Chains A and B, each alone.
Chain A
Amino acid sequence: MATKPRRVMAQVAMVMNLDKCIGCHTCSVTCKQAWTNRAGTEYVWFNNVETRPGQGYPRSYEDQDKWQGGWVRTRSGRLKLRSGGRFKKLISIFASPVQPEISDYYEPWTYDYENLVQAPLGDDFPVARPKSLITGDDLQIKASANWDDALGGVGATAESDPILRKLRDEANLQIKLEYEKTFMFYVPRICEHCLNPSCMASCPSGAIYKRAEDGIVLVDQDKCRGWRQCITGCPYKKIYFNHRSGKAEKCTFCYPRLEVGLPTVCSETCVGRLRYIGIILYDADRVTEAALADDKDLYEAQLELMLDPNDPQVIADAQANDVPTDWIRAAQRSPVYALIKHFKVALPLHPEYRTMPMVWYVPPLSPVVDLLKAQGHDSEAGGNLFGAIDSLRIPLEYLAELFSAGDVEVVRGVLQKLAAMRSYMRDVTLGRDRQPELARAVGMEPAAMEQMYRLLAIAKYEDRYVIPKAHREQAHNLEEMGCSLDFEGGPGSGGEGPFGSSSGRVVPVAIESYADAKARQRDESGA
């Protein structure tokens, strides 16, 4: 058993530092402009930013009793889709039993701007009425993707936050929601590009696949038949149904950009610079085993899947499995690996779904500082901070439900590290004597603390994004080259397709000549 070489694979992963997220939605908007500004995807946000506590998007998607996403461990110790096994999926294929409707997202609309310039002369100002993009009728706007943003909705909508409900029912936790005592933070979400994706497992057609080279999860638009099971399967509800083309669509991790070494659009445009992208090496054969761990061990199990890219044995195994050398080097410099496994300050979102998500989060600490300051304490002094973590405005239990399957200790450990870093670095900045015991109290060396500070607080572009390019020798195989002009003017081009809307049209996989354009710009010959 031990002699068998490990199947070491590379995975592109992301970490988001929630302390820095101001909830500006720039990532969402730029993502939408890049990917989902088409007919049929009006309601689709590959990237969305949620205020927590809150219902999320689509509403209450975390309530898996209702939405049936992700995996469960059966009594016999096997993984099973929560929504049912293969046979059940097939016999319920004629109408997906658990399926969010457009009202669970929101009904998209536009405004009748034409009326502003074409209305006849009259006494009243012309108005641009909202028109539904689904029916074309007048629409009473009731919700949108971030309708209950920030404090806009907490009082009314927090009641429907599945996590709050759970904490209230199970832990009997009193969480204050009065305006002045409320807490909130933002969670930007994209597809998790899981190691054990339940959307993929749910797909009857086998159209969803994980790219062997970089682990990006994509939908083959030519193979998707619109059975919609993936939408039920994904516990994060990050697969969407294009209601015009009748196919599933999802976040692509901006693979056309990654392939030329550029970060995703959401990362590139993030004003808080809170996103990190890097490579992780993992043992593909042990994914299922790790996904079977007990709820509270899932975080550790996932950490163990990630292999140390500096370990010579790992390097050898990776090379044996055709991971290119520059990818291994990128994995060694990976900021994501550093935050997740080296410093252990990033946590997975809902590990209890057992999908092994690959977008991780540094939990937010900020409000504790404000709280202490308001109470007249020296808010960044080490002792004060440590003590205050337990009385955070954002209850540890809440964060634990999000990031560690309810294990408060894990979250407390991370927040203590972040707090220690602040105190330690404040002494450095103010030119006072350093207190190595602050670092050691959280199990870190002072030098590591400074490294972590550089990565989290200074966060230079080159440090945040360590993205190896797709390989030149494979360049002719890049997916975006696929949409060629070979068929220009062929049957079905232009207008409504003969078999319904969007049929007969190419799926806009990528910016066709992106890699070429980039190469040309960088070409020394100036051609």
Chain B
Amino acid sequence: MKVLLWGVLPYLTLLMLVGGLIWRRQYDAFGWTTRSSQLYESKLLRIASPVFHFSLLAVFGGHVVGLMVPKSFTDWIGLSQHNYHAGALYGGGLAGLGLVLGLALLVWRRRRTPAVFRATTWNDKIMYLVLALVVGLGLFATLTGGRTPSGAEHNYRETVSVWFRSLFTFQPDVDAMAASTWQFQAHVVIALLLIAGIPFTRLVHAFSAPVHYLFRPYIVYRSRDAVGARRSATVKGRGWDPIGTPDNRRR
């Protein structure tokens, strides 16, 4: 079980993520979008969405630091464990709270705006549930995961982080992860599920973050020839669904 969860699942997740992204790009480039609902409702979104996304970026940054920077390094530069922990707790806690707030606002908006709710698929609902679980457990782990049930000190930088870094050398330190508290373990497992699901949900838009916009020329000329050669690989379907078909009826 230990090996399955901490030795196999991470690699399966990576496989699903990479394979899924390639598959999606190949066969559903047309479906690869943010699926924005701003046209329906803008006021709440303009607050909730940046709160959520910027918090998410902060949380992501925190994870990179917490997982990738070894404890020996922070010890070496003279950052005491106490100070580090305080920074992680308050910084991470704040970002986590922002994330929860943003997500709650977004979900509330989605439920309360009829047009937005109608555009919400089952896929979205499941994704939101998993996402909320991951966020909730992550915050919970940050706040309470510092102590094992027996009351002993637990430092995730000596368990989770060690395990995470060992994944890159294909020598997963299964025992290190198994030694962490259940809060962290649950957070990791569900987060892996979420990551594996990215290519198959609307979260896929994260992988088209348009950083190249900073560098491309403003005006894009493209030859008809070039376009024809790269035809859309998206599956043919009912493109011309007319108005008033079941497509438009209340689900």
Contacts and interface: CB of A to CB of B under 8 A. Distances in A.
B121 interface: yes
A366 interface: no
Contact of B219 (A95, A196, A490): A196
Nearest to A492: B235
B224 A211 contact: yes
A467 to B, nearest CB: 15
Nearest to A135: B114
Interface residues of B, number: 74
Given A507-B234, A509-B232, A500 B40 contact: no
Interface in B37-51: 37-42, 45-50
B221 interface: yes
Nearest to A211: B224
Nearest to B214: A86
B219 A201 contact: yes
Interface string B48-92: 111011100000000000000000000000000000000000000
B210 A481 contact: no
A192 to B, nearest CB: 14
Interface string B16-31: 0000000000011111
B248 interface: yes
Contacts, number: 259
B118 interface: yes
A477 B228 contact: yes
B212 A247 contact: no
A483 to B, nearest CB: 7
A38 B201 contact: no
Nearest to B28: A504
Contacts of B218: 200-201
Contacts of B48: 95
Nearest to B48: A95
Given A209-B222, A246-B36, A38 B242 contact: yes
A137 B33 contact: no
Contacts of A125: none
A50 B249 CA distance: 31
A196 B221 CA distance: 11
B123 interface: yes
Contact of A210 (B39, B220, B242): B220
A506 interface: yes
A490 B35 contact: no
B35 A500 contact: yes
Given A226-B33, A501-B121, A507-B232, A93 B210 contact: yes
Interface stretch (A96-104, A292-300, A339-347, A422-430): A96-104
6 contacts: A38-B240, A101-B40, A101-B41, A222-B32, A225-B33, A487-B27
Given A502-B31, A505-B238, 13 more contacts: A42-B243, A89-B213, A95-B45, A196-B219, A201-B219, A209-B220, A284-B221, A500-B202, A503-B31, A505-B234, A505-B235, A506-B237, A507-B239
Interface of A: 37-39, 42, 86-87, 89-90, 92-97, 99-102, 108, 110, 133-137, 196-197, 200-201, 203-206, 208-214, 220-228, 241, 243-247, 284, 287, 470, 474, 476-479, 481-485, 487-488, 490-494, 496-509
